[in-house]
Amino acid sequence: MEQIIRIAVQKSGRLSDDSLALIKECGIKFYNGTGKLKSTSTNFPIEFLFLRDDDIPGYVADGVADLGIVGENELVEKDKDVLTLKKLGFSKCRLSLAIPKGQDYPGLEFFQGKNIATSYPKILGDYLTSKGIKADIHEISGSVEIAPSIGLAEGICDIVSSGSTLMMNGLKEVEEIFKSEAVLISNHDLNEAKKSIVDKLLFRMNAVQKGKISKYVLMNVPNEAIDKIIKLIPGMRSPTILPLAQEGWSSVHSVLNEDTFWEHIEELRAAGAEGILVVPIEKMIL
Ligand code: ATP
Ligand code: MG
């Protein structure tokens, strides 16, 4: 039978949409109807398992799945022996300590001898140990934010993204202890045939990711400014320059990184560029 790899992705939740979107952007087709727990791609040797995110590190470590997409928070908490192949740049969040809004916060020693409720006992325990703080960690699996108001704990440690859930529950964030994003993980012992499929998938994911952080830029430039403009835009190799119908002008095309994008645009305008068009890139293969 032809080799196929299995990837575990979250069934539904804050990881699943972006995980599936990334796979689709890699040109991989599959059907995921509601309630389906397994699905095979029609155009790539990959099979999907739709699971709770808590189970993904374990399934990958045991080899039930070859690959998985999971948050670093869940990965580190579960402490399974898997390889991290790639950070994926989505589902970004942080784990933070929070206490009731009205409490004074003198620093981490606040937590000395206190009760802290969390769904992340390992990450929190390691953090407190590294800081020399001894606290009682109460593991609860959900609705951690209500623990202080019902007298279960004096503080909590939970996932924060905007902080609005904390605020709604009368809490304030006092320490960030862990930063997380989605990662692609792999089992340690893939055979050569599986590894080569994983390489193909990684190649596609890298192309999608590079495309996302780059923009294709076109602009009109007076010929006498071309040299100056070229120095400002480090293109993939060198920019493309095409003459315009209007005498003395050219169209310059290049690829810019999104991070430094605005800075470059200002410099280009100052150097005489006009009619600047910025176009998204779907995929970029170098
Ligand atoms: P499951 O039912 O699969 O166990 P869950 O309830 O444990 O799901 P979700 O709330 O769907 O988990 O979050 C999944 C992951 O998404 C988290 O472990 C974290 O890595 C990330 N995440 C959580 N909250 C946010 C957020 N507000 N913004 C971005 N990413 C988040
Ligand atoms: Mg979960």
Residue-wise pLDDT for 82-117, tens only, equals 999 999 999 999 999 999 999 999 999 999 999 999
Pick from 173, 56, 177: nearest CA to 126: 177
**C-beta of residue 235 within 8 angstroms of C-beta of residue 252:** no
Atom 18 (ligand 1) nearest CA: 71
Q: Which fold has domain 214-280?
A: Alpha-Beta Plaits (3.30.70)
Q: What digits encode the pLDDT tens for the residues 24-33?
A: 999 999 987 7
Q: What digits encode the pLDDT tens for the residues 73-82?
A: 999 999 999 9
CA of 93 to the centre of ligand 1 (A): 9
- Pocket perturbation via mutation, ligand 1, pick of 9, 12, 15 by most ligand atoms within 8 A of CB: 15
What is the CATH number assigned to the segment(s) 5-90+181-211? 3.40.190.10
CA of 140 to the centre of ligand 2 (A): 12
Q: What digits encode the pLDDT tens for the residues 255-278?
A: 888 888 788 888 899 999 999 999
CA of 138 to the centre of ligand 2 (A): 17
Residue extents of the structural domains in the chain: 5-90+181-211, 93-180, 214-280
Atom 11 (ligand 1) nearest CA: 13
Q: What digits encode the pLDDT tens for the residues 133-145?
A: 999 999 999 899 9
pTM (predicted TM-score) = 0.89
- Pocket perturbation via mutation, ligand 1, pick of 10, 11, 12, 14 by most ligand atoms within 8 A of CB: 14
- Ligand 1 atom at minimal distance to the Cα of residue 52: 3
**Do 93-180 and 5-90+181-211 have the same topology in CATH?**
yes
The Cα–Cα gap between 270 and 266 comes to 6
List, as ranges, residues with CB under 5 A of the ion ligand 2. 53-54
Pocket (CB within 6 angstroms of ligand 1):
10, 13-15, 52-54, 71, 73-74, 91-93, 159, 161, 180
- Ligand 1 atom at minimal distance to the Cα of residue 72: 20
- Ligand 1 atom at minimal distance to the Cα of residue 54: 4
Q: What is the dihedral of CA 10, 14, 19, 22, to 10 degrees?
A: 170
Q: What digits encode the pLDDT tens for the residues 202-235?
A: 999 999 999 988 999 999 999 999 999 988 887 6
CATH architecture under which domain 93-180 falls: 3-Layer(aba) Sandwich (3.40)
For residue 90, what pLDDT is reported?
A: 95
